[in-house]
Structure formats: C-alpha cells, structure tokens
Structure 1
Amino acid sequence: MPTLVTGLLTGLSIIVAIGAQNAYLLRQGLTRNHVGIVVGICIASDLLLVNLGVAGVGTLVSDHPVAVSVVRWLGVAYLAGYGLMSLWRARRPGSLEATDGHRSSRRTVATTTLALTYLNPHLYLDILLLGSIAATHGAARWWFSAGVCLASALWFSVVGLGAHAAAPVLARPATWRILDVLIGAVMLLLAARLALG
C-alpha cells in the first residue's frame, strides 16, 4: 500500500502541470467540447506508456545494475529542474479562460489530443523517470505503476469533467500560483528522496 500511495503522489506531481496537454484538456472542459474523447485518450495513453516504461526500465535494471545509478541521477536532475521551474512560474502565474465559442469536430479534437500527447518530448522523459523510480521499488514496482495510473485517471477525469464548473477559479492567477508552488515542492522532495536512495 505505501508503494501504491508513493506512485499516486509521484504521478500527480508529474501530471499536475500547466503544459500543452493539460491546457487543452482544461479548454475543452471549459467549453464542453468533446471532453470525453480528450479524457479517454489522455488516460489510455498514460496507462500504456507508464506500464511500458515500468516494464522496460525494470528489465534494463535487472540486466544492467549500473544503469540504475545513471538513470537515478538523470531523474534527480530532471525532478529538481522541473520543481525549480514550477516555483519560478509561481512568481508570475498565468490564468486560463475559454475565450471563444468555436466547437471543433470529434476528429479534430482526437487528432489534437494525440499530437499533444505523443509529440511532447517531456512525456518520454517523464516515462523514463517514472520507470526508473519504479525500479527502485523492486518487485513492488507494479504497485507503484498502479498508483501512477490511478493518479492519471483521477487527474484527467477531474480536470476534464470539472473544468466547466471550476471556470471562475481557473481564471484566477492565484490558483495557478498555489498549484505551481505545490508541484515545485513535491518535485524537489522527490528529487531529494531519489538522490538519497
């Protein structure tokens, strides 16, 4: 159970960021434009990629123990950098509002979501990072993976389906400041834990 919770918190700290994919999901949720398609693609993609990352890195680690050290320190650098960027963003937070009433077709929404998901280079770094963190849990790495997948399903469902109701709150820069500070703190904590083994 602690490994599942660690996976859940790690997954949330990585997923909860104002990136292109989340901004698009928020926008579709605010305008209620095929939000179910966006949520479904985001969750299915994360389930696939997280489990592939955990399986692949787990195999790599068992065959090449030196790889653990290399990936671990790359993960520390990435987490620390991401955390610092989140804290930096909190100094001048943005806001998100749906300003136009234009409705896109299902095909356009699906294509855009797939592009924002699979053409994002940070996605692959995140998957490698999650796989390397999961590998440190040994045989319990699949519980860690389940926690990350649960975080993904929860986050995308809540954001997509709750965005319209939360429109007044999401328009406030203070909301994004709080989110960025929390994300930055969690990322730096994870970097420290990973660095200390």
Structure 2
Amino acid sequence: MNTSLALSASLQGLALSLGLIVAIGAQNAFVLRQGLRREHVGSVVLLCAMADALLIAAGVMGMAQALGERPGLARVLALAGAAFLAIYGWQALRRARHARPLKASDGGKGLSRGAALAQAAAFTLLNPHVYLDTVLLVGSIGAQQPAALRGWFVAGASAASLFWFGLLGFGARWLAPWFARPRAWQVLDGLIGTTMFVLSALLVQRVLQGL
C-alpha cells in the first residue's frame, strides 16, 4: 500500500471529523464540565470517542456496500457532500464574525459514574445531527475512498474524536478560559471554514476525475 495515500486518507478523515465535531454544543459543554469537576473524565471521554468511532465505521462500511454497485449514486452523494461542506464552511466563517464563548459551570451536584455515562450517551446518541454527520456525511465521503484506504479514513476520523474529547476533558481547567473568549472561537471557526472548503473542493475534484 502506498504510504502517502494512506496518510492522505487518514488526514482527510481527521480534518473532516474535527471540522464537524468542534462546535459549541451540549455534548462538548458536558465533557468540559466533567473535566472542570474532574469527575469520571476518562470514562466520559472514552464513551463519546467510541460512540463516534462506531458510528463512523458503520457509516463508511454501510455506505461503501450500498454504493459499491451504484457509481452514479456515489457521484450524486459526493457532490451533495461537497455542497454540504461548502455550506458548513460558509456558516463557520459567518460564526467567526459573531463568535460566542463555550462555557461550562464547574458547580452543581456531582454525578455518579453511571449517571455521567448515561448523560454522555444521551448527549451523543439522542442528537439527530450526530447521525447526519457521522453516518451519512462522513460515511458517504469515506465510502468514496478506495477499499484499501477506507480503514485509514475511519482511523483518522475516529482519532479526531478521541483527540477532541480528550482535549476537552483532560485539558478543561487550562482550556476553559480560552474557550470563554469569543476571539478564540473566531480563529477556530475561520480555520474550520477554510478546511471545509478545501475538503469540498477535493470531493468535486474526485468526482470530475471519475467522469
């Protein structure tokens, strides 16, 4: 296997997953809260990361099987994914103009491990956007990769989740003041927007090359 192709597939999965997961939302705020309280951080981080990894793998493998004998549908989904990423990138650049901070109180009643994991699972699995992002979008884009590279794409996308949740949970006390600054999110959203446009262009290029 060509090492550079494997690395490219992994980096595409990493960038795509990071771009989708790094946002102000209930799940991120909960992981940050647990990190600030230093309660069951490893368990919460691991559950969120493993759930993402399983959904991403299911999406890529399921989409690959569904699209295997339908090249026309594969091209349509690739173009739809490119359009979605371009719109997502545009929205990120718009957010960069009016950024909001991510805040998570470290006060309140402590949670048992079971309660913390139940809440983490709810924030992860009861959010309909997680299925749109991981199963449909990431799945359809990962399925465009050659069969030998899909595992590398899944590994890169899953590593992004583990990195992000680990950063939120274990770096909470250091990161909380940074996340409370709108300027930091402006920079982050600017990078996300640019990354999404690049990934969108790569998808369009892949479709054109396949014609």
Q: TM-score, normalised by structure 1?
A: 0.91
Does the Cα contact within 8 Å between 1:32 and 1:164 map onto a contact in 2?
no
1:137-181 Cα shifts (integer Å, max 9, x gaps): 112111111111111111111221101122222221111111111
For residue 39 of structure 1, report the CA deviation from its aligned partner. Answer: 0.4
Aligned to 1:107: 114
Q: How far has the Cα of 1:32 moved from its partner?
A: 2.1
1:24-35 aligned at under 5 Å gives the runs 24-35=30-41
1:151 aligns with 2:151: no
Identity %: 46
Runs of 4+ in structure 1 deviating by more than 4 angstroms, as ranges, are none
Query: SS of 1:90's equivalent?
Result: helix
Match for residue 69 of structure 1 among 69, 75, 80: 75
Output the amino acid matched with 1:135: A
Gaps of 5+ in 1: none
Matches within 5 A, 1:27-176: 27-102=33-108, 103-127=110-134, 128-139=136-147, 140-176=149-185
Q: Which residue identity does 1:138 align to in structure 2?
A: P
**Residue 100 of structure 1: how far off its partner (Å):** 5.0
Residue 199 (structure 2) aligned to one of 154, 169, 190? 190
Equivalent residue pairs, number: 197
Q: TM-score, normalised by structure 2?
A: 0.86
RMSD between aligned alpha carbons?
Answer: 1.7
* Cα distance per residue 1:19-49 (max 9 Å; x no partner): 2211221222223232222201111101111
Match of 2:120, as an amino acid? T
Q: Amino acid of the residue matched to residue 114 of structure 2? A: R
